[in-house]
């Protein structure tokens, strides 16, 4: 919507003959953004349209972009071949709980690092940031060994426990909360507000953009997780969507129509979440600058 409004303003300026060299340069920038956006969306459009095509139409050459014989049979067959509802509920469960816990702990920790001074706070914060420099593949084997010794292999707890904290979340919330004036908190303390009341009634409402941004990042990361569920899950009842969708393709059999249909259904929660939170998401990315 913001991009379309800018384009509308430029066309109005062109009509009123108010174009300058700066406006002309903006036209090229917006055209480049539009072309780039279309190119990035093409795979999504191809998958979405392919979900309504018969398999013969997908494999035909030269390929057709729009479905010639649209059908819903692909979606029906997805539910017939695998327990898709069970996998969907598993994914929701192992995504929503870590997201809630991660956002809650990151907000509390970010508030503490931003507004309280204690011995070793700088060192502790930089140690947390240092964990972001460790590549995730390096931690997989130690995490699996700890989960195995704790008896968490092939359990819901094993799927969830590794995603209950986020160094990036703490960093994001700290950088956002640090911009909130200390005078606002001091005024609340003078009025008799407790620290928890300050957090819930002042900090949380003012950090809504950062909260939505962190929620989107965390939810998407857990929803699309593949490596850890692949390692920790061995039974069919605990599989998530990321493990279920590859079941439609194998060494000798490939069903692109079913892969497209299952992928489209798996994307719906993240798309809906982004649609409702996109305004706060853009604001959170813009305002969460680095400040000491």
Predicted TM-score (pTM) of the model is 0.80
pLDDT band at 20 (very low <50, low <70, confident <90, very high): low
Burial 213-225 (b: 16+ CB within 10 A, else e): bbbbbbbbbbbeb
pLDDT tens figures, 39-65: 888 888 888 888 888 878 777 777 777
Most confident stretch, 19-28, 96-105, 227-236, 261-270? 96-105
Same domain, yes or no, for 54 and 119?
Answer: no
Same domain, yes or no, for 81 and 53?
Answer: no
248: Cβ contacts below 8 Å, ≥ 6 apart: 78, 81, 254, 255, 258, 259, 262
**Number of domains within the chain:** 2
Tell which of 73, 91, 126 closes a domain. Answer: 73
CATH of the domain at 168: 1.10.3720.10
User: What percentage of residues in the chain have a pLDDT greater than 70?
Assistant: 86
Question: 10 Å Cβ neighbour count for 78?
Answer: 24
Same domain, yes or no, for 237 and 175?
Answer: yes
pLDDT at 94 over 80: yes
pLDDT tens figures, 168-193: 989 988 888 888 888 888 888 888 88
Same domain, yes or no, for 48 and 137?
Answer: no
Tell which of 18, 51, 73 closes a domain. Answer: 73
Region 110-129 average pLDDT: 87
pLDDT tens figures, 214-242: 888 899 889 988 888 988 888 888 888 88
């Amino acid at each position: 919507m913001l991009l379309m409004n800018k384009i509308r303003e430029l066309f109005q300026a062109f009509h009123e003959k108010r174009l300058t060299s700066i406006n002309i340069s903006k036209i090229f920038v917006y055209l480049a953004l539009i072309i780039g956006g279309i190119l990035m969306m093409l795979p999504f459009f191809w998958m979405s349209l392919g979900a309504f095509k018969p398999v013969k139409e997908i494999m035909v050459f030269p390929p057709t972009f729009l479905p010639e014989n649209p059908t819903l049979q692909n979606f029906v067959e997805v539910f017939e071949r695998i327990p898709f509802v069970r996998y969907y509920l598993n994914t929701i469960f192992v995504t929503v709980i870590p997201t809630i816990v991660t956002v809650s702990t990151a907000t509390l920790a970010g508030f503490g690092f931003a507004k309280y001074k204690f011995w070793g706070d700088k060192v502790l914060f930089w140690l947390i940031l240092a964990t972001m420099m460790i590549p995730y593949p390096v931690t997989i084997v130690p995490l699996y060994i700890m989960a195995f010794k704790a008896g968490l292999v092939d359990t819901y707890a094993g799927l969830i426990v590794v995603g209950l904290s986020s160094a990036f979340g703490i960093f994001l919330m700290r950088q956002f909360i640090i911009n909130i004036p200390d005078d606002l908190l001091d005024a609340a303390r003078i009025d008799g507000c407790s620290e928890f009341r300050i957090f819930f009634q002042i900090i949380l409402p003012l950090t809504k953009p950062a909260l939505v941004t962190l929620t989107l990042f965390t939810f998407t990361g857990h929803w699309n997780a593949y490596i850890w569920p692949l390692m920790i899950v061995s039974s069919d009842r605990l599989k998530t969507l990321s493990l279920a969708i590859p079941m439609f393709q194998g060494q000798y059999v490939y069903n692109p129509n079913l892969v497209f249909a299952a992928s489209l259904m798996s994307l719906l929660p993240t798309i809906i979440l982004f649609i409702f939170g996109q305004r706060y998401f853009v604001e959170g990315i813009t305002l969460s600058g680095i400040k000491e």
